[in-house]
């Protein structure tokens, strides 16, 4: 009997030791998981804060630049704004109007008589009606146009610029003088590269800007079905 009691006691002690070892390993594993998770959270927070701060500084720089004249922007005045039953697509030589040329001969037009219905703002893969787009400009839109065949990486830049902004209109436009042209009512900027920082500055300055003839008017509920 004494030997059996000793054996049971030894087995019980061994089992207790196994449980203690397992609990210790479990505690170590939990501590490692908690520590690793905490480190990842701290790292992610740090990255997020850095990204937010970077975006905030970038936006502040854009806003500051928008408060100054933008190099290369052409301005047009005394634009008509009549609603007309038909507006043929422009075929003029794609040059910005010089001092001795009629106002409004820019391509695309920066204003003038236009279709009674505006173009729904958004991103289009095909050209839109110029008369409708001019009406959108009258409501405060910025119309970003580009030559068909613009490299995909540059088109991606323009898409990112336009996405999520309800008064942005992006579409191809044949025969542009420059690869990319940004237009708001009465103002226009030609660019050789979509990544030019003046593009974001132009949008900041003129999207529903002070030049808008009909501020607060809609840029949806008109014609067109944008892809984005």
Token pair 């009465």 in the structure block, residue: 186
Dist CA 228 CA 225 (whole Å)? 9
Chain centroid, CA 132 distance in Å: 22
CATH for the stretch 74-206? 3.40.30
Q: What is the pLDDT of residue 101?
A: 41
Is residue 143 packed enough to be buried (19+ CB in 10 Å), middle (13-18) or exposed (0-12)?
A: buried
Q: What is the pLDDT of residue 40?
A: 86
Share of the chain above pLDDT 70, in %: 86
Where in the chain are the domains?
1-68, 74-206
pLDDT above 50 (res 97): no
In tens, the pLDDT along 67-87 reads 798 999 999 999 999 999 877
Which of 45-54, 93-102, 127-136, 159-168 is least confident? 93-102
In 67-194, which ranges are continuous DSSP H helix?
Answer: 130-138, 152-162
Share of the chain above pLDDT 90, in %: 57
């Amino acid at each position: 009997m004494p030997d059996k009691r000793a054996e049971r006691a030894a087995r019980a002690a061994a089992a207790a030791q196994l449980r203690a070892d397992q609990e210790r390993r479990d505690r170590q594993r939990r501590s490692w998981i908690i520590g690793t998770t905490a480190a990842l959270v701290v790292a992610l927070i740090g990255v997020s804060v850095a990204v937010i701060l970077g975006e905030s500084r970038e936006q502040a720089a854009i806003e500051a630049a928008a408060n100054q004249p933008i190099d290369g922007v052409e301005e047009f005045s005394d634009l008509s704004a009549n609603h007309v039953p038909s507006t043929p697509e422009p075929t003029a030589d794609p040059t910005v109007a010089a001092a001795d040329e009629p106002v409004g001969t820019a391509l695309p037009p920066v204003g003038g008589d236009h279709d009674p219905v505006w173009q729904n703002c958004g991103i289009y893969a095909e050209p839109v009606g110029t008369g409708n787009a001019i009406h959108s400009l009258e409501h405060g839109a910025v119309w970003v146009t580009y030559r068909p065949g613009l490299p995909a990486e540059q088109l991606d830049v323009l898409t990112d610029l336009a996405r999520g902004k309800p008064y942005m209109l992006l579409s191809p436009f044949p025969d542009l003088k420059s690869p990319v042209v940004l237009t708001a009512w009465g103002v226009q900027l030609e660019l050789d590269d979509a990544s030019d920082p003046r593009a974001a500055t132009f949008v900041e300055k003129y999207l529903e800007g002070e030049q808008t003839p009909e501020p607060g008017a809609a840029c949806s509920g008109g014609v067109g079905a944008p892809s984005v």
